[in-house]
A and B are shown apart, each in its own frame.
Chain A
Amino acid sequence: MVLKLFKSMTGVSVLLFALLVPQVSPAQSSAPNTFPTSGSQASQNSPAAPSKQKPSPSSSSLPSAPQPAQSQQEPSLQDLGFGQSQMQANPALQARLNKRTEMLKIHQRLGIITLAPMVAALITGPTVKVKGKDGQILKVPSSTNLDFHAALGSATAALYFASAYYGELAPRIPGEKKRGAIRTHVALAFIHGPGMILTPILGALAFNQEQNGEKVHGIASAHGAVATVTALAYGASIVAVAWPIHLKFWEK
């Protein structure tokens, strides 16, 4: 008798449990949903023009922040199998990146400004030695042209080395492997870098020789050629970092 009653009660309890199960499922799936569904908003917009809503001011749903409770049917970021290191914020690295960008922006600005005196020095370079009727080198007007060219050369060197300072001392990012146009930009520095050291030295030698009334001779006579190669490498370096260039001024 007791056994029969026990069996009957067990059956009833199993039945009750089974009836309770379906009530649990909808409760879970109706969890608060922070993400609007495609209901009324979708019907208001044309398919060709997706509309945007105002960005959420809250930062609580950031990937690095703890995720809010989600309904069972919504996959979570943790389901995807990213490593914790990949998802974790790295303020130190962000600060380093900020510093790097800041320094490279100065490097870029100074580098572009350097172009002006460099081009001017290249233009004024040939005017400091003008051949007379008898083939002798004349200085027309000697000191003004020379001084102006020397001043342009000095300004170029000063700006160049200031730019190089910011480029070289910008923080390196751990694990950074140079790829693409930046490699050409850096490689060309091995030409215009020594060129920018050599050009003023040769220029000074040539200047002294001219001042002493001598015809420029020896290694100093390479001043113009070295300066030209340096300027070409420098220009190529700027183009390289900007490559590929697609001129589309008509596009905003």
Chain B
Amino acid sequence: MKYKIHAMAALWLAALPALGQNSSQWMLVQSALTYHVSSPVHQVNGASHEAKGKGVCQDGQCNFLVAAPVKSFDSGDSNRDLHMLEATRGAQDPMVVVRAKFSEAELQQSTIYADLEVQFAGQTQRYSHVAFQRQWQGNEMRITGSVPSTCSDFKFERPSFLGLLISNDIPVRVDATWKQM
């Protein structure tokens, strides 16, 4: 009898931390990451639909990770894509990796402010307090927003065409649909 009581108490104590953690996991089910490049004679968008991602919310903090192969970005012109791959050192550093941190409470808000760490072209750049819009679509969560990245952030030479340099700004539009696991 005494053994049973001890065992029950042990089980309760073991279960307590799990109850307090209230963790959730998210999986990226659909995404479009689109960079925008502009020059005086060009406006170009290149999109990747091959990103993979995972999110974990635990102890009131969410950590989301999204990664995509650099070569998966498609601007509709293979020559331009290969040049982008060269300029961004995409064969040497083949992945663009984004880590996002935000408070779990923000999942209930329509706007999520996340701190981002972006690894790209052999460089790591951090962006604080980036706004993303959140929408529920059934049991899936759609996140949209833009990462205000620039060429100089990642220290790659700005490509030019007909002698005209592209703009330093290369914002990346994020459209990601997440499903809770």
Name A's B-contacting residues (CB within 8 A).
Answer: 7-8, 10-12, 14-15, 17-19, 21-22, 25, 29, 35-38, 41-42, 45, 47-48, 50-53, 55-56, 58-59, 61-64, 73-77, 79-82, 86-91, 93-94, 96-98, 100-101, 104, 112, 173, 176-182, 185, 241-242, 244-249, 251-252
Residue B123 lies at the interface, judged by CB distance under 8 Å to chain A: yes
Give the chain A neighbours of B30 by CB distance below 8 A. none
Contact B54 A80 (CB under 8 A): yes
Take A8-B3, A35-B117, A242-B161 as given contacts and tell me if A79 and B122 are in contact as well, using a CB distance cutoff of 8 Å. Answer: no
Interface pair B6/A45, CB less than 8 Å apart: no
Query: Are B55 and A251 in touch, CB under 8 angstroms?
Result: no
B122, A62: Cβ atoms closer than 8 Å = yes
What are 13 A-B interface contacts by the 8 Å CB criterion? A11-B10, A18-B9, A37-B101, A38-B101, A42-B128, A73-B23, A81-B52, A97-B86, A97-B91, A179-B78, A242-B161, A244-B42, A248-B38
A89-B95 Cα distance, complex, nearest whole Å? 9
B130 to chain A, nearest CB (A): 4
B16 x A22 contact (CB < 8 A) = yes
When the two chains form their complex, are residues B91 and A181 in contact, meaning their CB atoms are under 8 A apart? no
- Tell me the smallest distance from the CB of B17 to a CB of chain A, in Å: 4
B136 at the interface (CB under 8 A from A): no
Residue-wise, chain B 54-79 has the 8 Å CB interface mask toward A (1 for contact) of: 11101101011101010000011111
Interface residues of chain B, those whose CB is within 8 Å of chain A, are 2-3, 5-7, 9-11, 13-14, 16-17, 21, 23, 38, 40-43, 52-56, 58-59, 61, 63-65, 67, 69, 75-80, 82-83, 85-87, 89-97, 99, 101-103, 111, 113-115, 117, 119, 122-131, 148, 153-155, 161-162, 167
Q: How far is the CA of A176 from the CA of B153 in the complex (A)?
A: 29
**Residue among B16, B93, B161 with the most chain A CB within 10 A?**
B93
Q: A64-B94, A80-B53, A248-B43 are in contact. List 10 more A-B contacts (CB 8 A).
A: A22-B17, A47-B113, A48-B131, A59-B122, A77-B67, A79-B65, A94-B90, A97-B85, A182-B79, A249-B40
Residues of A within 8 A of B93 (CB): 62-64, 89
Interface residue from A15, A38, A101, A176 paired with B10 (Cβ < 8 Å): A15
Q: Which residues of A contact B56 (CB under 8 A)?
A: 73-75
Q: A41-B128, A41-B129, A179-B78 are in contact. Are A18 and B92 (CB under 8 A)?
A: no
Are B17 and A11 touching (Cβ within 8 A)? no
B131–A61 CB distance below 8 A: no
Closest B-chain residue to A25, C-beta based?
B17
Contact (Cβ within 8 A) B14 A21: yes
CB contact under 8 A between A80 and B65, given known A52-B127, A88-B94: yes
* Docked complex Cα distance between A29 and B21 (Å): 11
Contact indicator A11/B122 (Cβ below 8 Å): no
Task: Let me know if B65 and A8 touch, CB within 8 A.
Answer: no
Closest to B97 in A: A63
Residues of B within 8 A of A14 (CB): 6-7, 10
Q: A99 to nearest B CB, angstroms?
A: 9
B17 near A50 (CB under 8 angstroms)? no
Q: Given A8-B2, A18-B11, A36-B115: A73 and B95 within 8 A (CB)?
A: no
Q: Which residue of B lies closest to A91 (CB)?
A: B92
Give which listed residue, B14, B77, B117, contacts A180 with CB less than 8 A: B77
**CB proximity of A199 to chain B, nearest CB, Å:** 25
Contacts A21-B17, A22-B16, A63-B95 given: A98-B86 contact, CB under 8 Å? yes
Contact in complex: B131, A180 (CB < 8 Å): no
Those 3 A-B pairs whose CB atoms lie nearest each other, nearest first: A11-B6, A180-B77, A63-B95
